Amino acid sequence: MVKNRLTYAISLVIASASLDLLIGDPRWAPHPVELMGSLISFLRRHIEQYAGDNPWALQVGGILITFVVVFSSGFSGWLIERIAFHYVLIPNILKSLIIVIAMASTIATRSLIESVLEVITALPHNQDESQLQCAREKLSHIVGRDVWLLKRPEILRATAETASENAVDGVFAPICWMLIGATLWSFSTNLPGPLALGWAFKASSTIDSMIGYKYGKMRWLGKAGARLDDILTWLPSRLVLLTLPLVSKSILKLPYLVKLAWIDGSKDISPNAGISEAIFAYCADVSMGGNNKYKGHIIIKPKLAQNYPEANIQSIKRVLKLTLRLEILWLILFSIALPILSTSKF
């Protein structure tokens, strides 16, 4: 029974990732992240009104936002799992389909690829301001930095960096946490499973992207959410660090690339973003890092693979191809594991 639960749960993870690759997020369908974002905005608005400029009150409010949003998201996923396992009137195939669709909403491979391609498609070959403005508009949907004065080279660098970092946040970290949830199901289906942990991680990531900044009120309000996201992304970012060279042309240099990426990425103030971007930089042959502006505040990011060429359209496409190849490799490895798990003795 234990191995049956585990193989079933892993097969759900594989199916959800495959569904995301095939159809992505339909724009007409409501998305759980939109609800998470609305809840974050509602809580932030009321907490800021109450806390004012008091750092201590803002930090407590940030803890409250983090707890409420992450717990409610994870609990909602857990409830859907409970219904799927215990509500006998729903056919099993429909239960599985509901969970797969819900889990697919936590993975953003197709939407990430489409969003990045929209930016580079809108980018002109010259510095025509009207055409640059269109590319900036597209870029503003996927980055948190100020984009409205960026020139073509800076737009390209920003696109390469967000494609690399979001590959971990939006693809590999959700998959990793859903697999952890699948493992918990092997002990008991009453524990949070892949959907519960997938939605909980997505809530944490959304909090970090919305208020996890280090300036103004958000340096206190977003502190708890940013710390939690750092903790939850720690393992996935290191798994990507170790496995991304396997799908690059530099597979034989794996130890060397990992070492270089670790040295460069560890200089970043983020314990995960620097490492994630660095391994993509070395595997895609593109330099990253430099000065970024967030809400008027300049943040100096360390240079990654600084002896490599600056970002261009080809290197950005290589980042996307590496993301897709690595996800497929992960899914293949999970698929190979299924028959092994189904025949092993627990």
> For residue 170, what are the contacts with CB-CB under 8 A and spacing of at least 6?
107, 108, 109, 111, 112, 205
* pLDDT at residue 86 in the model: 74
Half-sphere exposure of 291 (CA within 13 A, CB side): 5
Query: Which long-range contacts link 129-138 to residues 24+ away (Cβ below 8 Å)?
Result: none
pLDDT of residue 194: 95
Predicted pLDDT of residue 3:
52
**How big, in percent rounded to 5, are the helix, strand and coil portions of the chain?**
75, 5, 25
Low-confidence ranges of the chain (pLDDT < 70): 1-3, 26-29, 88, 126-129, 339, 341-346
pLDDT at 272: 92
Q: What is the CA radius of gyration of the chain?
A: 21
End-to-end Cα distance, the chain: 9
Alpha-carbon torsion (119, 122, 123, 127), positive or negative:
negative
CB burial class (10 A; 0-12, 13-18, 19+) of residue 157?
Answer: buried
What 3-state DSSP class applies to 112? helix
pLDDT per position as a tens digit, 124-183: 776 666 778 888 999 998 888 888 888 889 999 999 999 999 999 999 999 999 999 999
Sign of the C-alpha dihedral computed for residues 176, 334, 105 and 2 taken in this order: negative
Supply the pLDDT for residue 269.
86
Beta strands in the chain (DSSP E): 288-294, 297-304
Q: Find the helix or strand (DSSP H, E) in which 257 lies.
A: helix 254-265
Burial tier of 45 (Cβ tally within 10 Å: 0-12, 13-18, 19+)? exposed
Q: CA 1, CA 3: separation in Å to the nearest integer?
A: 6
Q: What are 32-60's pLDDT values in tens digits?
A: 889 999 999 999 999 999 988 899 999 99
At residue 343, the pLDDT reads: 61
Give, in order, the Cα–Cα distances in Å from 86 to each of 80, 81, 124, 287, 295. 10, 9, 55, 52, 48
Residue 27: predicted pLDDT: 66
Sketch the domain layout of the chain as residue ranges: 2-343
95 Cβ contact list (under 8 Å, min separation 6)? 83, 84, 85, 87
| 288-294 and 297-304 strand pairing | antiparallel
Q: What angle do CA 250, 252, 258 make, to 5 degrees?
A: 70
